[in-house]
Structure 1
Amino acid sequence: MSCEGIIHIVDDDRAAREGLGFLLSSLGLEIREHASAAALLGMIGDQAEGCILADVRMPEMTGLELLDELKRRNCPLPVIMITGHGDVPMAVRAMRAGAIDFFEKPVDGMALVDRIKDALAASRERAREARKTASLREKTNSLTAREAEVARAVARGLQNKQIATELGISPKTVEIHRHNVMEKMGAGSTADLVRQLVAAGWAEI
């Protein structure tokens, strides 16, 4: 897979599909061509990075219906709509359904490429944030109930003796739990731990 992600071209018009594919592949971008929305949905899986170029007017499932289905599946890939018969209401509907842009045929190739690059950059950033969130969730889920209590108390700015009093345990036990929390969270300092807990929604700045 390209480091930039795959660009999926969805169009029942073979000539249009192959023309776009040739343009994008000549720029070193990795593409996949699909003759229908169903073909795309059948293979896209959980791809996290890339973007989709979809024609609006296709048989069986239109581009707008494809947008709705991608949204239902929580697909993170940005979608750019393309049509040979566009009008303002259709463009508005596509944007409201989640498309990031709308191009009419014949497409301005360089303008489309610029928009695709923006979409790929946004896709990479979204995927990076998703990985960070998943990693953070995995770390917080690894904490025991007592470790979680200690972590929340630390995030509130309490010292070990205060935490011990609040939880009804010894300061030494608090110290052990705090050490375990730091290790499991991969935190290099209390400030680092608090930043992670804020990001996890466990504390407020």
Structure 2
Amino acid sequence: MTNATSSIVYVLEDDPTMGKWYSGLLQSIGVNVAVYPTGHEFLNMVHPSDSACAVMDMILPDMTGLAVLEKMQERGIWLPVIFASGYGDVGTAVQAMKAGAEDFLEKPLKAQVFLDAVQKALAKSHHSHQIKPATQEVQGLMARLTPREREVLELIMAGLSNKEMAKKIGVSPRTIEVHRANLYSKMRADSLADLVRKGLAISHNA
């Protein structure tokens, strides 16, 4: 468990009201907060920390959140990044996870879901060697999938919507929903981001 008082969450948010919401919520659990309205201001101030993560929107006034993440990686700043976006389509979420995001949350945010994601990201930052995806465990979960479920997982990771998947493999959208529910259960995934992360863990080690 991380020491909350030594942890910091960098928030990239240009809306002052949302910035205050983030700050109040995080400070209520004893986490330090630094809010930046633009990507450039954040990049000029951020530095690696033993226990830190970043929360950012996909769209910022001066650049996209993905561009910020790319520049962080170029500079060797490997902080877990949580994207919070009002544009929560499957393609956007998959794009963020493939770029290296820790999580992807849809706005409007639910306070507890947000705090859980932050705590998980801070734990990864503090004990990254302990909570990296366990490839062998994920492979075991993958082995439980049917060929059709594997196909649906690959299409999800390609960013297709339910309707697009249904059309591509010749089934109804309702059937796709059933396959997705089975995937979440069998892969022990609690969100789309978690499902994609586990799929990527396998593809990167294939």
Tell me the TM-score normalised to structure 2 length.
0.58
Cα distance in 2, alignment partners of residues 94 and 78 from structure 1: 12
Tell me the alpha carbon deviations over residues 90-143 of structure 1, each in whole angstroms, 9 at most, x when there is no partner.
111111111111111110110111111111111111399xxxxxxxxxxxxxxx
Mark the CA change 1:127 to 1:38 in structure 2 (over 3 Å): closer, same or farther. Answer: farther
Question: After the TM superposition, which residues 176-195 of structure 1 pair with which residues of structure 2 at under 5 Å, given as runs?
Answer: none
Question: After the TM superposition, which residues 163-202 of structure 1 pair with which residues of structure 2 at under 5 Å, given as runs?
Answer: none
1:4 Cα offset (Å): 4.0
Q: Which residue of 2 aligns with 1:58?
A: 60
Q: Which residue of 1 aligns with 2:51?
A: 49
Structure 1 contact 51–123 (Cα < 8 Å) conserved? yes
**Which runs of 5 or more structure 1 residues have no equivalent in the other structure?**
129-205
3-state SS of 2:45 partner? coil
Alignment counterpart, residue 112 of structure 1, candidates 104, 111, 114: 114
3-state SS of 1:42 partner? helix
Cα distance in 1, alignment partners of residues 4 and 37 from structure 2: 22
Q: Which residue of 2 aligns with 1:152?
A: none
Mark the CA change 1:4 to 1:120 in structure 2 (over 3 Å): closer, same or farther. Answer: farther
Q: Which amino acid aligns with 2:99?
A: A
Structure 1 contact 4–49 (Cα < 8 Å) conserved? yes
Q: Which residue of 2 aligns with 1:85?
A: 87
Alignment counterpart, residue 73 of structure 1, candidates 49, 65, 75: 75
Q: Which residue of 1 aligns with 2:29?
A: 27
3-state SS of 2:35 partner? strand
Structure 2 contact 4–29 (Cα < 8 Å) conserved? no
RCO higher in structure (CA 8 A, sep ≥6): 2
Q: Which residue of 2 aligns with 1:6?
A: 8
Cα distance in 2, alignment partners of residues 68 and 105 from structure 1: 23
Alignment counterpart, residue 101 of structure 1, candidates 88, 100, 103: 103
Structure 1 contact 48–76 (Cα < 8 Å) conserved? no
3-state SS of 1:95 partner? helix
1:47 Cα offset (Å): 2.9
Tell me the alpha carbon deviations over residues 149-184 of structure 1, each in whole angstroms, 9 at most, x when there is no partner.
xxxxxxxxxxxxxxxxxxxxxxxxxxxxxxxxxxxx
Q: Which residue of 1 aligns with 2:184?
A: none
Larger radius of gyration: 1
1:42 Cα offset (Å): 0.7
Deviates more, 1:118-127 or 1:34-43: 118-127
Q: Which residue of 1 aligns with 2:148?
A: none
**Number of aligned pairs?**
128
3-state SS of 2:127 partner? helix
Q: Which residue of 2 aligns with 1:193?
A: none
Cα distance in 2, alignment partners of residues 61 and 31 from structure 1: 21
Structure 2 contact 5–31 (Cα < 8 Å) conserved? no
**Which runs of 5 or more structure 2 residues have no equivalent in the other structure?**
131-206
Structure 1 contact 48–77 (Cα < 8 Å) conserved? no
1:18 Cα offset (Å): 1.4
